[in-house]
Chain A
Amino acid sequence: DIVMTQSPDSLAVSLGERATINCKSSQSVLYSSNNKNHLAWYQQKPGQPPKLLVYWASIRESGVPDRFSGSGSGTDFTLTISSLQAEDVAVYYCQHYRSTPITFGQGTRLEIK
């Protein structure tokens, strides 16, 4: 199974500042047949289901603010929030879908400093 490891486990950032969350996979999630990284990012607020933010590592889901961006390839990926807003307080998860079983990172809790 592909193991997804996020860092840090928790993060406190001031309003308006940049937040960066990292995700590392134990094997490459780049699929040679389509040259795409099979990596998604989700945001989960308390008492709510996860919400898709980014897929194919860097494509922002419709309706997601452009302060959210995904980058990376192969085994190393990053979710960046360019200017933190109060409503961004949540737990963020990466997920690979390169093969079965799908696996998620352990989550990164983002708070306001």
Chain B
Amino acid sequence: DAGVTQSPTHLIKTRGQQVTLRCSPKSGHDTVSWYQQALGQGPQFIFQYYEEEERQRGNFPDRFSGHQFPNYSSELNVNALLLGDSALYLCASSAVHTGELFFGEGSRLTVL
């Protein structure tokens, strides 16, 4: 049973560029959430997708956007990258009626 898979694992961008990160949820899960984790910090909630719609959003600017596809996979897009966007981006999946989040290994974004 494949767990949550994310790609790419590492990437380097420059300020002002745009990035797309991808996530496939754990088998049987229909809800995908994205988190940003800065070094030494806990994960911070970005947004959650269910039934191809953004259901909840944390305190992140509109530069952060996402999408969920019919097969439940998801993308996180960040426009106009800033140095402060450098972080580990985590995707977590869950079944809508359960609480446990299952995380992928993350995508490490470095903005130069």
Are A and B subunits of one complex? Answer: no
| Chain B interface (Cβ < 8 Å from any Cβ of A) | none
Which residues of chain A have a CB within 8 Å of any CB of chain B?
none
